[in-house]
Amino acid sequence: MEINKEVAIKASLEDVWSYLINEGKSGYIWSSKVKVGFKKGDLVRFSESKETLRVKSAKPPRHLSLGGKSKAVSITTNCDLVPRGKRTILKVTISGWEMMDQEEARQEVPRVSLEWEKRLNLIKRTIESAQKSSVK
C-alpha cells in the first residue's frame, strides 16, 4: 500500500529543488519550521506535527528520500522532481504501510494522505508566488 501524490509547479527543476532543501525557504513550504541539512542521516523536524524524519538519500536536483516511523513502523517518503516543459512535477510516494496493522493503516493512511495534499498545494502556491515576485 502506497500513497502517491503529485503536483505540477510553474518553475524550473532547480528552483523547486532549492525551495525543498533551502532552510530559509523550506520553513514556509513544509508548513512549519524545518531544520534541514539534506545529507544522508540529517534530520528534518516538523515543529507543528512533532514529526521527525531522517534523510535516507538525496540526489540533487531530482530525488530526496526521507525515513521515519508511524505507529512504530518504518515509513519512507520519496520526493521526485521531473521537468516537464516550463513546469516541474513534484511526485511524492509514501510507502511502508503494509507493515502496519491493517486497522491502524486504515486510519493513518487517509490522515497522512490529506496532510501531503495540503503540503503539496502549499508548496505549489509558495513557489509560484515567489516566481511571480521575482519576475516583477
Instruction: Residue 135: count other Cβ atoms within 10 Å of its Cβ.
Output: 6
Hey, which bits of 21-108 come out as E strands?
A: 43-46, 51-59, 63-70, 73-84, 87-95
Q: What is the pLDDT of residue 76?
A: 94
The CATH number covering residue 130 comes to 3.30.530.20
Reported as a single tens digit per residue, the pLDDT across 39-89 is 777 777 665 566 778 889 888 899 989 898 877 889 999 999 999 999 999
Give me the number of domains the chain comprises.
1
Reported as a single tens digit per residue, the pLDDT across 90-103 is 999 999 988 999 99
With beta carbons less than 8 A apart as the criterion, state whether 105 and 94 touch: no
Q: Say yes or no to pLDDT of 25 above 80.
A: no
Q: What percent of the chain has pLDDT over 70?
A: 82
Segment 12-22 shows an average pLDDT of: 86
Range of the domain at 128: 2-135
Q: What is the pLDDT of residue 26?
A: 58
Question: How buried is 98 (Cβ within 10 angstroms: 0-12 exposed, 13-18 middle, 19+ buried)?
Answer: exposed
Q: Which three cell numbers stand for residue 40?
A: 544522508
